[in-house]
Structure 1
Amino acid sequence: MKLVVLGLSLSSSWGNGHATTLRALLSAFAARGHEVLFLERDQPWYAQNRDLADPDFCELRYYADLAALDGWRHEVAVADAVMVGSYVPDGIAVGEWVQRHARGTTCFYDIDTPVTLAALERGECDYVSQGLIAGYDIYFSFTGGPTLTRLEEQFGSPCARPLFCSVDTARYRPLDVPKRWDLSYLGTYSPDRQPTLTRLLIEPARARPDLRFIVAGPQYPADIEWPANVARVDHLAPAGHAEFYASSRFTLNVTRADMIAAGWSPSVRLFEAGACATPIISDRWQGIESVFEPGREIVLADSTEDVLAALDADAGRMGAAARETVLARHSAGKRAEQLEQDLERAAHATRPTIEERVVAS
């Protein structure tokens, strides 16, 4: 089939978690014999930090503004499926345009579902509306569990399906490199994550000056007081992720507040670290046990003391056990197979007409 994707960014992983998720999924989808066109809004901050300007698994093209999308109307009209992603600039207008012109299956891929639903309830979401949700044939959600029922019953989606992030297991794998860090963290600064990062990494670093820590990611405020044994990297491109994890005795996963509240929202960092067989210490949220088994495949920590105890313990086979689970259930290949099946199922379902979609939006 031919799939057209209008997403936040494929070309740049700077300051967003969308690029790595989309690269893994679409690369595996293309490997199954499908054709992919990715349309990306040309934004200066991504243009200055592109680490995948010419992907070999899809056609990547840029558009300057909403008016420029009309140049792609034919491709959208003849595509078997068209996907719009969360946080796309002017996403409501983009979605209305897609639902007006697409003849195939239309879907929304929300990599930020709990954040989206909270913004919708506040009336502050600028990339999707309740009317658009009802107009998309499928709402692919980063979050599973009860949120799927909520999307259908409260927000009017005709079909809400989980599509968790995944990992390219050819790129993320164990590497034989020296361990440089006792605990690492990879993630863009977020105000709601910072208290947890302080409790589960900065405070352990203060308590154990003999251990080595590192935080990689952009946009951290200059006034954060990092202990001397915490190294900082402003941005780490995906090409360096596997070595980053392999250089770590443990790595930390920290979840945004909205996603903790919703549960069932695994971060791509969980799967990346797991694929590299790096033992993971994570904050706690409902549904995490459906991703990794606590105590055998992951350490769940609530306090500084929990982290210090984990760092003093022998992780043993924990990293290897997590990798086995990622390979079996969370690879990009598995997600692409699921996407293919859902799109094929939707193609044979009764869909509203273009006129009905316009009315719904």
Structure 2
Amino acid sequence: MKFAFFGSSLVSAYWNGAATYYRGLIRNLHARGHQITFYEPDAYGRQQHRDMPDPDWARDVVYGVDGPQEMERALADAAGADVIIKTSGVGIFDEALEEGVLALKRPDNLVLFWDVDAPATLDEMAQDPNHPFRQRVPRFDLVCTYGGGRPVVDGYLALGARQCVPIYNALDTQTHFPVPVDPRFQADLGFLGNRLPDREARVDAFFFHAAAAAPQQRFLLGGSGWDDRERPDNVDYVGHVYTRDHNAFNCTPRAVLNISRESMARYGYSPATRVFEAAGAGACLITDHWRGVELFLEPGREVLVARDGDEVAAHLEALSPERARAIGQAALRRVIAEHTYAHRAAQLDSLLDGRNPARARTVAAA
């Protein structure tokens, strides 16, 4: 089938945490025989901070944002696709894009909304009974999310969604894997994440508090936006970390930390992409607590779970290099067996099988 994705960016992870999710899923859809075009705006400096060339497994179309004309041309270009997808958080012309893809609905195609931040989207609509997206939800053939479990599914169904299915983050084995340690990232604990309003208080609680509670340990902070943030003396800041360096960042510290955004932690069942990236690199992962973590990694054996910064510091204090390696290797085995983007692409294929009239006719004619 031909897929058309309208998203934030496929070729740049700059202020764009969903990039590795899109890449892993789309690369594996291509491997299953599908043709994919990804449409992204030239916005937020992402094209100036690209971390990959145009891929050979998808056609990438960048459109200008000085006015709606280039966006409209992109929509016209996508009109013939079998599956047309508008993702959340494009950041430019979001409402116009949603209406635009819905206008491309035909009897022989599917139009999907793909929410990469469903807890925040649902919270926003809950606070505003007149939110314009409420009226669009029932018009999509299907809503997919990259997490949230039953609470997110129920939230979307209550808004009139025809169907809502989580397609969780996963490991892209092509890009995230064990590598040798890198002296640039030497530390006892590393955290990689952009500075976001929905996360900063939790970073204070789980990372900076842990650093203050364990002054003898070395902490490493990566991600955009932390330049002017006051930090304890034992915290080193390395700024934006390009995806080409993610493996080294994950493999070098004794452990790495995952901190969920507040809304995702509250809904639960929302493992961040970095959970699987760290596990795929064989890193020992410490994660903040959220409901459903045991569905992805086994606490105590494949991941360490902390409810606050004091527990992060306690885990680090008790963590020998040998135990860290054992936890990282157990996590690596688990995600390769159950949580790769090949698994997620197969799930999407199965979900769409029989729903798309064009595919159904092809199968019937075979």
How high is the TM-score relative to the length of structure 1? 0.90
SS of the aligned residue for 1:294 comes to coil
Paired residues of 1:76 and 1:102 also in contact (CA < 8 A): no
* Residue from 99, 124, 135 that aligns with 1:131: 135
Q: Aligned letter for 2:103?
A: R
The alpha-carbon deviation at position 44 of structure 1 amounts to 4.7
Paired residues of 1:92 and 1:132 also in contact (CA < 8 A): no
Paired residues of 2:36 and 2:58 also in contact (CA < 8 A): yes
* Residue from 143, 151, 165 that aligns with 2:169: 165
* Residue from 65, 76, 99 that aligns with 1:96: 99
Q: Aligned letter for 2:243?
A: P
The alpha-carbon deviation at position 124 of structure 1 amounts to 9.4
Which residue in the other structure is 1:227 paired with? 232
The alpha-carbon deviation at position 79 of structure 1 amounts to 0.9
Q: Per-residue displacement from partner, 1:264-284 (whole Å, max 9, x unpaired)?
A: 111001010011111111111
C-alpha RMSD of the superposition = 2.0
Q: Per-residue displacement from partner, 1:91-142 (whole Å, max 9, x unpaired)?
A: 221111111124311111111000011111223998x712221111110012
SS of the aligned residue for 2:188 comes to strand
Which residue in the other structure is 1:308 paired with? 313
Structure 1 stretches lacking a partner, 5+ long: 350-361
Q: Distance in 1 between matches of 2:135 and 2:202?
A: 36
Q: Distance in 2 between matches of 1:73 and 1:16?
A: 22
Which residue in the other structure is 1:279 paired with? 284
- Classify 1:304/1:149 alpha carbon distance in 2 versus 1 (closer, same or farther; 3 Å): closer
Which moved further from structure 2: 99-108 or 156-165? 99-108
- Classify 1:87/1:185 alpha carbon distance in 2 versus 1 (closer, same or farther; 3 Å): same
Paired residues of 1:176 and 1:246 also in contact (CA < 8 A): yes
The alpha-carbon deviation at position 244 of structure 1 amounts to 0.6
Paired residues of 2:149 and 2:269 also in contact (CA < 8 A): yes
Q: Per-residue displacement from partner, 1:59-107 (whole Å, max 9, x unpaired)?
A: 0011224322332455422211011100122222111111112431111
- Classify 1:204/1:347 alpha carbon distance in 2 versus 1 (closer, same or farther; 3 Å): same
Paired residues of 1:25 and 1:336 also in contact (CA < 8 A): yes
Which residue in the other structure is 1:22 paired with? 22
SS of the aligned residue for 1:145 comes to helix
Structure 2 stretches lacking a partner, 5+ long: 359-366
Which residue in the other structure is 2:212 paired with? 206
The alpha-carbon deviation at position 221 of structure 1 amounts to 5.7
TM superposition outliers: structure 1 runs of 4+ over 4 Å? none
Which residue in the other structure is 1:295 paired with? 300
Q: Aligned letter for 1:331?
A: T
Paired residues of 2:210 and 2:309 also in contact (CA < 8 A): yes
Which residue in the other structure is 1:47 paired with? 47
The alpha-carbon deviation at position 53 of structure 1 amounts to 3.9
Greater RCO structure (CA 8 Å; 6+ sep): 1
Q: Distance in 2 between matches of 1:193 and 1:73?
A: 33
SS of the aligned residue for 1:307 comes to helix
How high is the TM-score relative to the length of structure 2? 0.89
Paired residues of 1:145 and 1:263 also in contact (CA < 8 A): no
Paired residues of 1:3 and 1:80 also in contact (CA < 8 A): yes
Which residue in the other structure is 2:73 paired with? 71
SS of the aligned residue for 2:149 comes to coil
Which residue in the other structure is 1:352 paired with? none
* Residue from 141, 154, 162 that aligns with 2:145: 141
Paired residues of 2:207 and 2:309 also in contact (CA < 8 A): yes
Q: Distance in 1 between matches of 2:234 and 2:4?
A: 46
Paired residues of 1:79 and 1:102 also in contact (CA < 8 A): no
* Residue from 331, 337, 342 that aligns with 1:333: 342
Q: Distance in 2 between matches of 1:207 and 1:257?
A: 22
The alpha-carbon deviation at position 210 of structure 1 amounts to 2.9
- 1:309-324 counterparts in 2 under 5 A? 309-311=314-316, 312-314=318-320, 315-316=323-324, 317-324=326-333
- 1:169-184 counterparts in 2 under 5 A? 169-177=173-181, 180-184=186-190
Q: Per-residue displacement from partner, 1:324-348 (whole Å, max 9, x unpaired)?
A: 1211222111111112222224215
1:150 aligned onto 2:155: yes
Q: Aligned letter for 2:339?
A: H
SS of the aligned residue for 1:170 comes to coil
Which residue in the other structure is 1:112 paired with? 117
Matched positions, count: 346
Which residue in the other structure is 1:13 paired with? 13
Paired residues of 2:202 and 2:262 also in contact (CA < 8 A): no
Q: Distance in 2 between matches of 1:73 and 1:205?
A: 48
Which moved further from structure 2: 117-126 or 337-346? 117-126
- Classify 1:78/1:70 alpha carbon distance in 2 versus 1 (closer, same or farther; 3 Å): same
The alpha-carbon deviation at position 147 of structure 1 amounts to 1.7
